[in-house]
């Protein structure tokens, strides 16, 4: 959701870049809604704390998302830097 070259910009829904496999599952409405919820809450955290979105406390964000009913996976690994460079995300 954090862009590589533009500070203070979060992307969600159909406007982000991802692998073919990842983008296929991300375009369905419930996923787009969840991404929007996460992006909106991340923006609120950044504004409240006076930091850029890439500097927010992710654990706090995830905790608040869960408290609001979001279902998050805990077993996701860090993105592969080679894939990130190839597709241009983050």
Q: What is the pLDDT of residues 13-65, one digit of tens each?
A: 777 677 777 777 777 777 778 888 999 999 999 999 999 999 999 999 999 99
Residue 2: helix, strand or coil by DSSP?
strand
Query: Which residue segment(s) compose the domain that 76 sits in?
Result: 13-87
Alpha carbon distance 28, 89 (integer Å): 20
Q: Which is more confidently placed, 18 or 11?
A: 11
| The residue count for the chain | 90
Question: Which secondary structure element, helix H or strand E, spans residue 48, and what is its range?
Answer: helix 29-49
Assess if residue 34 is contained within a domain. Answer: yes
Domain count for the chain, please give it: 1
Assess if residue 40 is contained within a domain. Answer: yes
Assess if residue 56 is contained within a domain. Answer: yes
Residue corresponding to tokens 């787009």: 32
Assess if residue 75 is contained within a domain. Answer: yes
Question: Span 66-81, mean pLDDT?
Answer: 77
CB 24 within 8 A of CB 14: no
* 42 burial type by CB count under 10 A (0-12 exposed, 13-18 middle, 19+ buried): buried
Assess if residue 1 is contained within a domain. Answer: no
In the prediction, which pLDDT does 29 show? Answer: 74
CA dihedral 80, 53, 61, 86 (to 10 degrees): -20
Assess if residue 46 is contained within a domain. Answer: yes
Q: Which is more confidently placed, 13 or 12?
A: 12
Assess if residue 71 is contained within a domain. Answer: yes
pLDDT-derived band of residue 90, with 50, 70 and 90 as boundaries?
very low
pLDDT-derived band of residue 73, with 50, 70 and 90 as boundaries?
confident
Assess if residue 8 is contained within a domain. Answer: no
């Amino acid at each position: 959701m954090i862009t590589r070259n533009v500070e203070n910009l979060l992307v969600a829904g159909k406007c982000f870049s991802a692998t073919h496999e990842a983008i296929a599952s991300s375009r369905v409405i419930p996923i787009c809604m969840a991404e929007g919820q996460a992006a909106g809450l991340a923006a609120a955290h950044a504004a409240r704390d006076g930091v850029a979105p890439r500097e927010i406390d992710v654990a706090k964000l995830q905790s608040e998302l869960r408290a609001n009913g979001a279902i998050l996976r805990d077993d996701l690994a860090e993105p592969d830097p080679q894939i990130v460079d190839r597709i241009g995300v983050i």
